[in-house]
Chains A and B, each alone.
Chain A
Amino acid sequence: MIPDLVTLLLWIGVILIVASVVGRVLRMRLSPNGENEGIENLVARIRAWWVMVILIAVAFLAGRTGVVILFALCSFAALREFLTLTNARRADHWSLAGAFFVVIPFQYLMVWAGQYGIYSIYIPVYVFLLMPIISALRGETQGFLVGVAEIQWALMITVFCASHVPALLTLEIEGYEGRGVLLIAFLIVVVQLSDVLQYVWGKLIGKTKIAPRLSPSKTLEGFLGGILSATAIGAMLYWITPFTPVQAAAMAFVITIMGFFGGLVMSAIKRDRGVKDWGHTIEGHGGFIDRLDSVVFSAPIFFHLTRYWWT
């Protein structure tokens, strides 16, 4: 695992160095005094990417415990952002407290312990049934369904789906023992590169808007260019996965598609709530959910496809 991981990290390092140089040159040419907002945002984004990549790399090298803790913290931050935008009522106080201080630790503990039979149903079954009971015990009926449904939705997206990223480590694939973090790397690299490439293709040749009301920056050209080039990169990355090149391309295609539509769904929620970003925690990117939306939507599908055909 280690030599391949190091090779992959070196490649990512090269990409980031190139991106940083391009950002620096663009800034010198077009925005020497910080007057071009697009360039400033690009530079901030690249800087944040460095931080994210370093954090993920450290977690990878720390193994299963490191990855589980990293994603538990991401879930915490994402849930915090999500619930900020909901109508969470006073009467839901204990449900909300439970979501943060019971559900997140328990879900990730089960992922860490590899308890597939528990972590794959804990939130969709147990939490789904128990949390409305806790809220109901307060006796406040106004806005009950909205409050309960929002919390459940928030938990499904930000905790249940996100926890399927570290859960990839628990899959026992023949001939792939001890290389689980590379599967996570494949998922994250392909999906995030797809986001970046959609943005790049869209800027270069984007004309036809796909969903002008949801996300004015998403274009058909960016979508096709991004998905296809990310799929190609996924195929080239087959050496870090248990897949053949063709299988890797198919997997990459599925997760980039899921990632694209995940971004669209999360944009719809943002528009509904009248905000541009989910938060302000990651400089240039917005919130955690702004960065994680595509990974969160693709992770469970990627997990189950891999589990079904390769274990």
Chain B
Amino acid sequence: MTNRLSAPLTELAATLCAGGIEVFARLVTAVRAEWVGVEPVPGKRVYYANHCSNGDFVLIWTVLPDPLRRATRPVAGADYWTATKLKHFIGRDVFNAVLIDRTGEGPRERPVELMSEALDEGSSLILFPEGTRNLTDAPLLPFRTGLFHLAEARPEVDFVPVWIENLNRVMPKGEVVPIPLLCRVRFGAPLRIEIGEDRDAFLTRTRDALLAMSPEAAK
């Protein structure tokens, strides 16, 4: 009974919360999307991006046009997003995240399975192939292998490199108050895994494509 009553309420709360998050993100960053190598049209896509800040996927989510946004799910660590009731609500009901066990306790192929399932259901994904936030001075950490395994499992999927610019300055590590600064999100040309392409070749190719979207590469 309570469940039947609370479902529409939860949905309403999630919609309001999503609106609030978008307004806040735009107020702080005036974020602008640049669709350099791909158009904002539906498709089976994995948006893979550099990861410097907790707000990274929020920014990508904000610049996606509404129909795309509803069909796009961020991939995130289950340990973080199930820690509290509020995080659980935001992770599951607002962003509809694909939650992945990062502790290494579950079976190793499980994350790829979960992501493949989401793609099969018609969703696109937001993924951070570095696996963790980049707090170093290097522009991009080496990629984990997850991206390759996902590409192998679903070779028909487009991998779209997405460079998030400046958000690490808005929210540096360990700070609570964000500094309003302009941010840009650049979408590059999609890549697919080639027949017989091995792990290192694919990861190098996707990583280079992402680096090519950074402002340093543009100079």
Contacts and interface: CB of A to CB of B under 8 A. Distances in A.
B172 A76 contact: no
Given A80-B182, A84-B181, A93 B30 contact: no
Contacts of B30: 77, 80, 279-281
Interface in B151-206: 166, 169, 172, 175, 177, 179-182
Contacts of A101: 177
Contacts of B177: 93, 97, 101
B44 interface: no
Contacts of B172: 90, 93
B69 interface: no
Among A83, A93, A97, A287, the one with the most B-chain Cβ atoms within 10 Å of its Cβ is A93
Interface residues of B, number: 11
Contacts of B92: none
Contacts of A290: none
A105 to B, nearest CB: 13
A100 interface: yes
A248 B180 CA distance: 39
A93 B175 contact: yes
B182 A81 contact: yes
Interface string A269-284: 0000000000111000
A280 B175 CA distance: 27
Among B166, B175, B179, the one with the most A-chain Cβ atoms within 10 Å of its Cβ is B179
25 contacts: A76-B180, A80-B30, A80-B180, A80-B182, A81-B182, A83-B179, A83-B180, A83-B181, A84-B166, A84-B182, A88-B181, A90-B172, A93-B172, A93-B175, A93-B179, A96-B179, A97-B177, A97-B179, A100-B179, A101-B177, A280-B30, A280-B32, A280-B182, A281-B30, A287-B182
